[in-house]
């Protein structure tokens, strides 16, 4: 149920927040893939234990993309409940893409 009450925040706040979270999610997914495949997968046997532990800690830290992707989808859903709707239509697909990316990458 959309509302035009001036006291209620417009959809722009939620849509821009969703776009920011979606961008961060997609960037973290790319970094996660780079660390996992290009650094750890190719060099795991040749790394010293301390260096391996450092890269595994970085990899675990990059898993925040799951939470940020979930926040992007929630903010997009909130944007659809406010006016103007076209801002939500603009950023909603990006949030869905980020949500699917955060679910699919294991």
Per-residue pLDDT of the chain in tens (106 residues, 90 and over written 9): 455 566 677 888 899 999 999 999 999 988 988 988 898 888 888 889 999 999 989 888 888 888 999 999 999 999 888 878 888 888 888 888 888 888 887 6
> Could you tell me the pTM of the whole model?
0.80
Q: Where are the domains of the chain?
A: 22-104
Beta-carbon contacts of residue 99 (< 8 Å; ≥ 6 apart):
25, 69, 70, 72, 73
DSSP H helices in 1-106: 11-33, 42-43, 49-61, 65-80, 85-104
């Amino acid at each position: 149920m959309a509302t035009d009450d001036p006291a209620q925040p417009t959809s722009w706040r939620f849509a821009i927040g969703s776009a920011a979270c979606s961008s961060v999610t997609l960037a973290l997914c790319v970094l996660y893939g780079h660390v996992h495949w290009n650094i750890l997968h190719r060099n795991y046997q040749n790394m010293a234990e301390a260096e391996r532990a450092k890269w595994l800690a970085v990899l675990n830290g990059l898993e925040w993309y799951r939470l940020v992707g979930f926040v992007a989808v929630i903010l997009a859903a909130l944007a659809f409940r406010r006016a103007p709707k076209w801002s939500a239509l603009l950023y909603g697909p990006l949030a869905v893409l980020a949500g699917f990316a955060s679910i699919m990458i294991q």
